[in-house]
Structure 1
Amino acid sequence: MTSSVIEKLVELRGIESNYVDAWGKPAKVSEESKIKLLRVMGYQVDDENTLKDQLQEQINESWMLPLNPVQVNRVGDTLLTAIRLPIELVNDSFILDIETEQGERMQQNFVPSDGELINVTHIDDVEFQEYIVDINGDLPLGYHTVTLRSDDGDHLADMRLVVAPKSCYKQEDIAAGKKVWGLSVQLYCLRSENNWGVGDFSDLSYLLQQAGRQGAQFVGLNPIHALYPASPDNCSPYSPSSRRWINFIYLDVTKIEGYEQESVQTIVNSAEFKASLNHVRNIEYVDYDAVTRMKLQVLNAIFDYQYEAFLSKNNEVSKEFKAFVEQGGESLDMLATYDAIQEDLATQGKACWGWPVFPKDVNEYHNKGVAKFKKANLKRVTFYMFLQWQAAKQLEQANQTALDSGMKIGIYRDLAVGVSEGSAEIWGNRDLYVVDASVGAPPDVLGPLGQDWGLPPMDPDILYQQRYQPIIDLFSTNMQSSGALRIDHVMALLRLWWVTKGDKPSEGGYVYYPVDDLLGILALESHRNQSLVIGEDLGTVPDEIRDKLEENGVHSYRVFFFEQSEDGGFFSPSHYPVQSMATLTTHDMPTLTGYWHCLDLELGKELNLYPSEEVLAQLYTSRHDNKQQILDSLHGHQSIPEWTPHSVDQLGMHKELNHGMQYHMAKGSSALLSLQLEDWLEMDKPVNIPGTCNEYPNWKRKLTRNLEQIFTDPVLNSLALGLTETRNKVSEQ
């Protein structure tokens, strides 16, 4: 009996039993793994009677709702909705009251039994019937409200009705076949003559302006999500505190009004501050602790000035700030309060890495202790709101620079797949996240043992009950001040590999998400924000999601080194899908120089990432073969000079090979081509080594040259102009 109940719950909760692995072979999720996944979802799998009650209760709850919480339709679809009522009411007259997002209202009277009966059940001897009812009239794009009322007007239930476009937005030139290129950068990596040891939004503006002059149509960024001001060494952009808000460390403090005040200048002109500034600018890696300490010290002084001069008074500046706070709503209040609490605990020397170690009275946003803290520390909470306000303003200024430079896309942002366990996002919406599991990946080529990313997944059922609002907010906010959004691990819209705490990544299992609904919302937000969408579809990718992404106008993500045929040869970029973004390398891979000289394999050996010398030897052999295939392909397409050696044994990485590989990609059919600034500089050290934490300084390595030097280099200027010319030629073909 328990086995039968478990199988029903497995099906009900979208836990996959069978899948195709990264090598194209059938794979099964073990029964034990499925039981563990149900357990972390909150089911009492060890108590048969309780489990049966939980199953029945879940079924009953869905029947007791006259309307679904949310429904997503595409424009032009026939609008049908399900109505569930006790049998004694199905012959009564009801009203559907529809209010559009635009403020228009319409009503229709109906009798449920006049519709199509699709299902029947019994709950406590009461028969419930489910009918399909037509919603009359065409609704515009947007988020609308459907209310079910009795014939005397009493409210019985309501539903969010989303009407979405057929596919995502594309800029007019891109839709018309224009081939463009751009640069991808880790914003914190940027060096300049003026920044404070970490790339900032002024650096971004400069980069956009200079790249735009050379024909680049976008600059892609790492996730710029909010991290942890009180714990700055937690610096991975893919393990954020909140994906709705921005990492304040990217602020150019010198551009904020108040920087010129005497109180601020006294700080920045002190010998101690100048020494710190010299230190953070000149070291090879970002010193997040020192940079954060310096920026917060100055931002505190600037805020004190603005608070007294503007924010505590009634003027245009304070009105603008108040409007920003009102628009940010509970989400902004939650993040600011979280940051203030974490800072307070750190100041007291208490454990504060995240809400799981916060004192009980403040370990959840909705606790009374949090309201009490906020009231007693309102100015400090306001300070963290102020940082978000300034960050939003500076990001928008950078976006405007891109537009003024004539870029077709401008900034493209990156949405991480999740948040870390101790994040403000989970602290503020605990019910949504399954904190006893984390997102990862089953074994694949890059991770033979599987991967555990330490990011608790959203519960798809709770997401549905919350009417998809968290996803709407994520898409909307991450499309602001940009022309494109890259969605990391886009397969998450279809399914995620859940790993229960304490298990090996290979012992996880896939949990499905409402992909069609999520893609509809993505398309709607894409059009509302005029943002092209790129889906990072690497790893174990089912055909199902690739097909859906293509139909929905989401650009695939094609990495040259992964585009191999069965015989080991590399596909020509001219055969890549047009609806894709092509690239040579990514932040999780070695640079071109690192790849060609096998520096990543050397580093992996130093860090003990390989189980044996035999495995490492196989990797070296495979790399040698791949390099020869690449060289053959480059020569075959005349992408490098004929005088370049044809044998990989005679060829180290040099400028002609580096540039030749970039031109090779530029001749491809992908609408978008993204090239890493690290490869322009022929750097050898990677940004990040997957599977490591403290073994390597991930997310800290800077560029080797200042931006000002890069864009005055005639060789790099020639490369950029050559890329623009090549892409234009492909566009004309």
Structure 2
Amino acid sequence: MSELIEGLVASRGIESAFVDAWGKPATVSDDTKIKLLKAMGYTVDDQEALEIQVEDSVVKQWLSSLNPVQVLKHDEPFIFPLRVSIEMAAQALTLEVHLEDGAIESREIEAVEHQLINVAEIEDEEFHEYAITLDVDLPMGYHKLTVKQGDVEMASSSIIKVPERCFIPDDIEKGKKIWGLSVQLYCVRSRRNWGIGDFTDLALLVKKAGDNGADFVGLNPIHELYPANPESCSPYGPSSRRWLNYLYIDVEQVPEFDNSVVKAWFKEQAIDKQLENLRACDYVDYEGVAAVKLAALNQVFEQYRTNYLSKNTKQNKAFKTFVAQGGESLQTLAVFEALQEKLKAEGRECWGWPVFPEEYNAYENPSVAKFAKQNKNRVNFYLFLQWQAALQFEAASQAASDAGMSIGLYRDLAVGVSEGSAEIWGNKDLYCTDASVGAPPDILGPLGQNWGLPPMDPIKLYEQAYQPIIDLFSSNMHASGALRIDHVMALLRLWWVYRGDHASKGGYVCYPVEDLLGILALESQRNQSLVIGEDLGTVPEEIRSKLADNGMYSYRVFFFEQAEDGGFYAPEHYPEQSMATLTTHDMPTLIGYWHCDDLALGKDVGLYPDADVLANLYDTRHENKQHILNTLHGHHSISSNISHNVNEVGMTKELNYGMQTHMAAGSSALLSLQLEDWLEMDKPVNIPGTFKEYPNWKRKLSRNLEDIFADDAIVSLAKNLTNRRNVASNN
């Protein structure tokens, strides 16, 4: 590599080496590093053009008097860099700090009186960089710094003052051990929903769970997907992470559903019969659910628009307030969805913005503004859906509070958005669409993983004053007692894979971890939301300490907590500042694990073409099951009715529930258990590494929500979990 490219690799945070999941050193090829620079927009194939590009970047920085953003820790002095020409260094400048509460602190300075830290010659003019110290007491929050010469504003910068750590509820900090349920909301069956779990189901679930001792219900990502493409149903490949999936709206709870016109339509279209069929499906029929929900919501919206939104009503004022608060992000989503709807109706390819007609392939295009104006009613319809979804989610959150849950709802933030998403369409500069994030080879994915999610460019994120990440944290913590951050390592580094390359040929790109952790802590404190970081996979040990110091809770999965001799660590040895769980959405259920159903399924869908590899996996599973039995018996978590010999033990209710109560005796502050395991289900909700081979993200629960807590065995399990957690709290 040339010296210029080597310098760029270092300055852009592309790592040349790392330690893999097995603790061995690994290197990144020069070819990969050059490709990642190319994905970032560098003209790596033209040395002369690259030199000009780099020089322009340096000039741009020196001609900007202030950095776009600065994050200050709670105990840091207010010191920032100021760049001015040598002629201006001795002139009077006014610094104004616009505090978040509206107050303004003003100071007169001469840059030359402060510490000189750098000098450069830019376009035949000498520039100096000074470290300016201001005696302004900044409260925690978001502030703005401006520098003026006379009445002319030269530059402005965002100043973010952040707390020491994330929010932790008092009772948990004092040692209380709690448990809760995790659920994929779309999986929930009920006698009244429309073929998919919804926010009314969620409100009932938190009430029932809370009445039986649970302190939280954890959700899959409930981000907005694609109304015009309902089969794109992975919650981890959303269109927008800031907004909610409209399919979770309970249509019958939307005002005007009881309108006579809507009722007549409902009867004429025989909607009851359609809903009966959708409820009976064992897998969510996303096409069917979306068709009936969108049709019904259109009917409801037309009545609501006529009765309220076309008049000066309190409802119209509330709607407009919601839209104004949502800002450009919400408007972008609504326009995107209205446009996608139109293209689909015309029979055109519309899975995402890369296949939109050129005039519509970016939100800022004039044709898009024209479309939005001409189709204002359809845009308002999609704005209305987000409003109703937010209101119903907030109602479910209130139901959790009313049930006495100490945390209530906890949400899951996906690591990115899919390539064709509204989020990228509205902010293309931020994303590197010639790359995708994933993971290097590890225990979960020996070949590496490519998730098809374009990464944010760390430099562009910085230049945008971190606003996209602030909005993400804030919106996902709203009305939630906790937030799980999927692949929390994204705050430190992400594995980038260049378009078309194998996942194993990627490389790590670093992110401004200290700044991002500070912003996370600020939003966590503001929203009173505990933070859980999913820290599985290739994770440097030092980052775990950094996350813990920042008040974040680690993620501990029983099946991965294994010693070198094969034995499983007792949950009493897990860090207190963690959430323990038996399985996850990417793993088999307890029955599936014990009976090796996941290995059989993997063979059926082509994940294990090598018979020897599969045989070894079966042997390892057999050994692990014996170790698990040894652990359970050693801690008296199961009775002597269950044999000590794995060859004699199938999965039973006693063993299933015994494993769950075994976890409840552990030291982790939080324990999350999957509702599927309460119901003794065998089929997984997702098989990683598959797309069409298995119906991922569709499998429903085996029983109606109304019947689950009427089961004496389940009620007894919940009571035992609560008792065990109480004992653990007092130890």
User: Shorter-normalised TM-score: what interval?
Assistant: over 0.9
Deviations 1:664-700 (A, max 9, x none): 1101111110000000001000010000000000000
User: Partners in 2 of 1:56 and 1:370 — Cα distance?
Assistant: 35
- 1:428-486 per-residue CA deviation (whole Å, 9 max, x = no partner) reads 00111111111111011111111000000001111000000000000000011111111
Letter in 2 for 1:491: M
d(CA) in 2 for partners of 1:116, 1:643: 76
SS at match of 2:497: strand
1:62-118 CA distance string (max 9 Å, x none) = 222111100001222111111112223223332211111011111122222222222
Residue 390 of structure 1 deviates from its aligned partner by 0.3
What residue in structure 2 maps to residue 579 of structure 1? 577
Which residue in the other structure is 2:546 paired with? Answer: 548
> Secondary structure of 2:2's match?
helix
Aligned residues, how many?
731
Specify the code of the residue in structure 1 equivalent to 2:346. Answer: Q
Match 1:428 to one of 421, 426, 429 = 426
Aligned mates of 1:611, 1:461 — CA distance in 2: 42
Instruction: Write the letter of the residue equivalent to 2:60.
Output: E
Alignment of 1:317-716 (within 5 A): 317-716=315-714
d(CA) in 2 for partners of 1:316, 1:91: 56
The alignment yields a C-alpha RMSD, in angstroms, of 1.0
Q: TM-score, normalised by structure 1?
A: 0.99
| 1:102 aligned residue | 101
Alpha-carbon distance between aligned partners in 1 of 2:354 and 2:555, rounded to the nearest angstrom: 36
- Deviation per residue, 1:275-320 (Å, 9 max, x gap): 3212110011000000000011111110010000001100111111
- Cα drift, residue 342 of structure 1: 0.3
Q: Secondary structure at the match of 1:68?
A: coil
Q: Does 1:15 align with 2:14?
A: yes
Q: Does 1:251 align with 2:249?
A: yes
Aligned to 2:91: 92
2:227 and 2:337 in contact (8 A); partners too: yes
Indicate conservation of the 8 Å contact 2:17/2:27, yes or no: yes
Deviation at 1:361, TM superposition (A): 1.2
- In 1: Cα distance, 2:452 partner to 2:595 partner: 32
In 2, Cα distance between equivalents of 1:157 and 1:577: 47
Partners of 2:449 and 2:278 in 1: how far apart? 33
- Residue 173 of structure 1 corresponds to 171
Aligned equivalent of 1:292, options 290, 293, 307: 290
Q: Distance in 2 between matches of 1:120 and 1:17?
A: 30
Residues of 2 paired with 1:579 and 1:661: CA distance?
21
Q: Is the 8 A contact 2:603 2:609 kept in 1?
A: no
Deviation track 1:603-642 (CA, whole Å, cap 9, x = no partner) reads 0000110140010011111111111111111111111112
The residue type equivalent to 1:637 in the other structure is H
TM-score (norm 2): 0.99
| CA distance in structure 1 between the aligned counterparts of 2:268 and 2:548, rounded to whole angstroms | 57
Give 1:205 shift.
0.3
**CA distance in 2 between partners of 1:602 and 1:255 (Å):** 43
Residue from 229, 236, 239 that aligns with 2:237: 239
Q: Aligned AA for 1:19?
A: F
**Residue 721 in 1 paired to residue 719 in 2?**
yes
Deviation at 1:142, TM superposition (A): 0.6
> Aligned equivalents of 2:268 and 2:298: distance in 1?
16
State how far apart, in whole Å, the 2-side matches of 1:586 and 1:267 are.
42
Letter in 1 for 2:101: Q
What SS class does the counterpart of residue 87 from structure 2 fall into? helix
Structure 1 residue 46: deviation in Å? 1.1
Give me the whole-angstrom Cα distance separating, in 2, the residues matched to 1:682 and 1:659. 9
Deviation at 1:506, TM superposition (A): 0.5
Task: Write the distance in 2 (CA, Å) between the matches of 1:82 and 1:611.
Answer: 58
| Number of the residue aligned with 2:80 | 81
Q: Percent identity?
A: 60
Post-superposition shift, 1:355? Answer: 0.6
Alpha carbons 2:595, 2:651 under 8 Å: kept? yes
Is 2:204 the counterpart of 1:206?
Answer: yes
- Superposition pairs of residues 81-230 of structure 1, within 5 angstroms: 81-150=80-149, 152-230=150-228
8 A contact 1:95–1:153 mirrored in 2? no
Q: What is the aligned partner in structure 2 of residue 31 from structure 1? A: 30
The whole-number CA distance in structure 2 between the counterparts of 1:119 and 1:186 is 54
1:406 and 1:232 mapped to 2: Cα distance?
36
User: 1:273: how far off?
Assistant: 2.4
Cα offsets for 1:108-131 (capped at 9, x unmatched): 222222222222222233222221
Partners of 1:143 and 1:651 lie apart in 2 by: 58
Which residue number corresponds to residue 65 of structure 2? 66
Give distance in 1, aligned partners of 2:272 and 2:395: 28
Deviations 1:254-286 (A, max 9, x none): 111111122222233246423321211001100
CA distance in 2 between partners of 1:268 and 1:728 (Å): 50
Distance 2:51 2:609 in 1: 44
Separation in structure 2 between the aligned mates of residue 241 and residue 138 of structure 1, nearest angstrom: 40
Residues 120 and 128, structure 1, Cα contact 8 Å, conserved in 2: yes
Offset, 1:52: 1.6
Structure 1 stretches lacking a partner, 5+ long: none
Match of 1:266 among 264, 267, 281: 264
Matches of 2:730 and 2:103, distance apart in 1: 46
SS at match of 1:132: strand
**Structure 2 CA distance, aligned partners of 1:267 and 1:680?**
40
CA distance in 2, matches of 1:269, 1:619: 55
For residues 404-439 of structure 1, give each alpha carbon's deviation from its aligned partner in whole angstroms, at most 9, with x where no partner exists.
010000000010000000000001001111111111
Q: What is the SS of the residue equivalent to 1:695?
A: coil
C-alpha distance in 2, partners of 1:170/1:713? Answer: 34
Instruction: Note the alpha carbon deviations across 1:128-167, whole angstroms, 9 max, x for none.
Output: 22211112131111100011122x2421111100001100
SS at match of 2:207: helix
Distance in 1 (CA, whole Å) between partners of 2:120 and 2:623 is 62
Counterpart CA distance in 1 for 2:655 and 2:667 is 21
Secondary structure in 1 matching 2:236: coil
Aligned structure 1 segments of 4 or more residues deviating by more than 3 angstroms: none
Give 3-state SS (helix, strand or coil) of 1:89's partner.
coil
For the residue of structure 1 that corresponds to 2:195, the secondary structure is coil
Deviations along 1:218-258, one digit per CA (max 9) or x if unpaired, are 00000000011110000000000000100000011111111
